[in-house]
Amino acid sequence: MLTIYGVYRSRASRNYWMAGELGIAFRAVPVIQARRLVDPLAKTAPLNTQSPAFLAINPRGKIPAIEDNGLVLADSLANNLYLARTYGGPLAGADAAEEGQILDWTLWAATEIEPYAVKIVLAYDAEPNGPARGRAIVDAATQALETRFGVLETRLSQHAHVVGDRFTVADLNLAEVLRYAQSQTALFDRHPGINTWIERCQSRPAFREMMRVREVEPA
């Protein structure tokens, strides 16, 4: 059985959503971020990213990690690519060309979008009522995303999905990376193709179920 290590309030959300899309049974093992604890190595500390028991599974000390039939992987986007290839059906590439496109868009999301989207979400995490001290960081990150959003907008103005004519792991991976920037509503409003596409992705039952669990999980 697939095991997913990590809480829903982390990048593990991507893997929980993917497992839901695939309809496969999985075991969820909550592992929280060590930074959330005063003493992550205390005997009474919950399982966290510095716990020896977790480091024995993922020496990188990051969540999520997945374990499937003895294979351990520890990058959230790579985890989803593996799950698509193994269990994916229509979520996976139909041929080598689609597999290449899925990998291309996933790596683009990781290298061109996520570094800036993460800056935005961290600023809001630090100041939940709206970043004041971090406003300059948010503005700079949003400006950097403008051109990159234009690239995706062009693609989605011609196609309903990123790859092929259906929802695939490429859509899921991209949508989860872009979710970190969704506080910047004006940015999305300037790109109506992206806005419509991400709303469609996030209307899927598996996404809604993942978010339902995420929202009741302790912050």
Please tell me whether the overall predicted TM-score, pTM, comes out greater than 0.75 for this model: yes
Q: How far apart are CA 132 and CA 128, in angstroms?
A: 10
pLDDT value of residue 8: 97
Place of tokens 């406003």: 135
Place of tokens 């095991």: 3
DSSP-assigned states of every residue in 138-182 = HHHHHHHHHHHHHHHHHHHHH-SSSSTTS--HHHHHHHHHHHTTT
Task: Give the DSSP letter of residue 90.
Answer: G
Task: Give the DSSP letter of residue 38.
Answer: S
Q: How far apart are CA 186 and CA 67, in angstroms?
A: 39
**Which 3 state secondary structure label does DSSP give 135?**
helix
Place of tokens 């995490």: 125
pLDDT by 10-residue block (mean), the chain, 219 residues: 97 98 97 94 95 97 96 98 95 97 98 97 83 90 97 96 96 98 97 97 98 93
* Ordered domains of the chain (ranges, CATH): 2-91 (3.40.30.10), 96-207 (1.20.1050.10)
Task: Give the DSSP letter of residue 199.
Answer: H
